[in-house]
Structure 1
């Protein structure tokens, strides 16, 4: 069983619970007391512009992700592969994407450059889908699937981690991530209805739509979020948000969460 907070963890001794709470207070990145469920956290997440910025990015991730399995078999068939060989040839793009996902996870965790990672990876994905759209040569299209997969799959955990990094509070974070994931998954409806059999094997409508989603929502949304967060960090470091905590007690300031002037966003 996973416990919500140190003071509810039965496997910790009283001294260990106290030590964990002190570390949370010293870290200054999470409330050092157990939160109580309240609708205010739901409203706070819904009113936070970051929720919808990450939802925009995530719809740019999951629309192409759900479409991937719809056109890859057609490309392999055009290359002359069928049955077991076709199944085997579908593995390499996913394998490369898996390796890239691990690498981006490691890099983003070490550098905190989640925005930059999303920008680079999503641009690679856009190049891949542009290749799919521009040619009917199945071998070039197959090469494009590698770039497309590399541009999609690493952005899934990186975007969700980025969203989680930039919100404080158990319930607000839960609501925000829930909205982001739910909104993104709704785009599977779009993916399943844009690859028309009559357009096989080029799938102009499908690839063009996915490319637009990746470029506008994922790549563009990442750039927008990155620079808005950098701007907010600059304002906080310059002391231009200090008026938010005027005439407030230490407890009230702490409960502001990521709205505290000393909370610096991951960009």
Structure 2
């Protein structure tokens, strides 16, 4: 039976039933502040507390030091990896304006769009499986392996001589890259509390915006190598960027670390601290758990997963439309190839800044849904400018608003989904489906910019996705979660745990009556 909420912890950390009432946060998914005791504040199988003898001030200092150590060890390298991944999947847009289509036997626009689409097919098909593989394998092996594979695919894209070769390379590139973005987001959620995850996810994803600006500058420089080795400039974009990815893949064998309970860069005491702080945050993701088919069914029967998929497609399709076609959009404003490459830089820079800012605000306010709603309105306004005006200055301003309305919502939606799904494998499966479905909509992105210089079908489709899926989906999920939190506060879900042991209650994950959702 579940012990009463006012039961006392006997101090035995090996006990199978634990009660914890001093660190669990109240509703909104914010953990670390107790304003009133929750109905079922139970923490099961906590490791021994290495700081039990210290004062609250000393414990807080150790926690800050530990968090800073995690940030410096994990975040910078992972940002570099995602920068390379996003650079490798979108540099085909830079190659296009440098003559890719002409070089490959005057490849038609339809065939070019097909090479964009094929990436998203393989990427999306394999994405839901990758988090299971990441959990079963060591991250320090899985991530370097997929990096080396996609780096090789990228490099060989510089040697293709026809459309068929380019299609094959893009298929395998998508398959190999499928494990990185959902894998790293899941991986980070296994290290940080829910109230800490958003800004880290935002910093990680901001590498995509940085890669957009960096990619334009890099492409402008690399295309100057045209003729070297008999290769055109666009081929050298693929060859050099792919080679760099392979090198970083091998280096990742040493710079990517395993999950908290096995991470070698932490002492035994620090590993216990990380696991304790996550379990006190109502998370079990730091620990090993065997895969069971019921985790899969728990994921696919959760309405939050399906709404998350709708919301994510509402920002991910616009993301790829923007990143793949921004060089072409700017070229249609009358700029030369090199100048167009350079003009792609500023929108990405401001998007990176706002992405991190929104991550910070959402962590502090615990209102991820409202952040999505407000930011999406900026993007909708930007694409309305692109759709309604043919003035170069207005259209260029619209690209800024478009970037500002898309990029912050990507990381914020992933953080929102992760915050509200508990369980080692359930969270991994849900993130795989959400991100995989969003990326499958990249097929739409690849085929809507077909009417230069206005690109009216493209801009209108992006607006529709943002209004219906991103804005509308965020509003629906926000109010559904608010209603569920209200029911839990009023004790209407208490019957879910009647007759269950503390361990059984913990296994309910986000269905625990004391688990309050992040709004």
TM-score normalized by structure 2? 0.48
Match of residue 50 from structure 1: 304
Is residue 30 of structure 1 aligned with residue 278 of structure 2? no
Q: CA, structure 1 residues 19+245, in 2 after alignment: closer, same or farther (shift >3 Å)?
A: same
Counterparts of 1:1-267 in structure 2, within 5 Å, are: 1=140, 2-6=257-261, 8-9=262-263, 20-30=274-284, 34-196=288-450, 199-267=451-519
Q: Distance in 2 between matches of 1:173 and 1:241?
A: 22
Q: CA, structure 1 residues 46+14, in 2 after alignment: closer, same or farther (shift >3 Å)?
A: same
TM-score normalized by structure 1? 0.91
Q: Distance in 1 between matches of 2:325 and 2:280?
A: 51
Q: CA, structure 1 residues 251+158, in 2 after alignment: closer, same or farther (shift >3 Å)?
A: same
Q: Distance in 1 between matches of 2:395 and 2:271?
A: 56
Once the two structures are TM-superposed, the CA of residue 90 in structure 1 deviates from its matched residue by 1.3
Greater relative contact order structure (CA < 8 Å, 6+ sep): 1
Q: Distance in 1 between matches of 2:273 and 2:414?
A: 29
Unpaired runs of at least 5, structure 2: 1-139, 141-256
**Residues matched between the structures, number:** 264
Q: CA, structure 1 residues 94+241, in 2 after alignment: closer, same or farther (shift >3 Å)?
A: same
Q: Is the 8 A contact 2:260 2:275 kept in 1?
A: no
202-211 or 173-182: which moved more? 202-211
RMSD of aligned residue pairs (Cα, Å): 2.0
Q: Distance in 2 between matches of 1:132 and 1:65?
A: 15
Q: Secondary structure at the match of 1:248?
A: coil
Once the two structures are TM-superposed, the CA of residue 30 in structure 1 deviates from its matched residue by 3.2
- Structure possessing the higher radius of gyration over alpha carbons: 2
Q: Is the 8 A contact 2:313 2:439 kept in 1?
A: yes
Moved over 6 A (4+): none
Q: CA, structure 1 residues 251+117, in 2 after alignment: closer, same or farther (shift >3 Å)?
A: same
Report Cα offsets for 1:84-127 as digits up to 9, x if no partner: 22211111111111111111111112222111111111111011
Q: Secondary structure at the match of 1:153?
A: helix
Q: CA, structure 1 residues 98+27, in 2 after alignment: closer, same or farther (shift >3 Å)?
A: closer
Match of residue 203 from structure 2: none
215-224 or 107-116: which moved more? 107-116
Q: Secondary structure at the match of 2:289?
A: coil
48-57 or 77-86: which moved more? 77-86
Q: CA, structure 1 residues 77+259, in 2 after alignment: closer, same or farther (shift >3 Å)?
A: same
Q: Distance in 2 between matches of 1:32 and 1:95?
A: 34
